[in-house]
Amino acid sequence: MQGVRQKFRVVHPVVSLCGAQAVLFVGLLEFRPPVPRKRESMLRRFASLLSFVAVAASTACNGPLPFLGGGALPGDVVEPPENWSEWTKPVNVIQLETNPTEAYSVNIAYTIVGEHLYVYAGDTKTKWVEHMEVDPNVRFRREGNVYELRAERVTDDAERLAFAKAWVARGFFSRDPQTLDEVWLYRLKARE
């Protein structure tokens, strides 16, 4: 048939032994319905358009996309507050820029405990954590303002416990840091 592709796949019977049990997988015949070439061409064009929109959106944004890192964060650079607890209006997600030599920014949740500001990667040594291990100078953007800060890894058990209580109180999906073997928790503070 011209203009139509058909695809058949035969899965042969297989016998495998799993411990003392024998498992028999029965042969299957799978048929993929024919797709006219015209429709296939339309799907290909739609995928190209979608790719173009994604690339255009990522280059036109003022920072990272939800699951993709970005570059340097634009915005007004302002002095950080003396005490982070002054921020009474909750904001769920902010942007964190690491690696000053080749800026890399991500969307991230933050937590304020007392007068300190924290960012947390759980037990995963993410790309932004790796950057902060090399150079702790970071930039933090919230509501259009950029704060130039320094990241310090938190290793003190009492401070980690205080953070853990605040983090878990955020909601159901916040894993308790006290249950993890390795914790990548950072306190952000003004540069000296």
Q: What is the pLDDT of residue 122?
A: 81
1 or 105: which carries more pLDDT confidence? 105
User: Which of the given ranges, 26-35, 117-126, 145-154, has the highest pLDDT on average?
Assistant: 145-154
Euclidean distance between the first and final Cα of the chain, in Å? 74
Confidence at 103, pLDDT banded by 50, 70, 90:
very high
Sign of CA dihedral 168, 172, 173, 175: positive
Q: How many residues does the chain have?
A: 192
pTM beyond 0.85: the answer is no
Query: Does residue 34 have a pLDDT over 80?
Result: no
18 or 150: which carries more pLDDT confidence? 150
Instruction: Tell the CATH topology of 76-190.
Output: Pnp Oxidase; Chain A (2.30.110)
Q: Which residues contact 153 (CB under 8 A, 6 or more apart)?
A: 132, 133, 184, 185, 186
State mean pLDDT over 177-181.
Answer: 72
Domain ranges of the chain: 4-60, 76-190
Q: What is the pLDDT of residue 91?
A: 66
Q: Running DSSP on this structure, what letter comes out for residue 50?
A: H
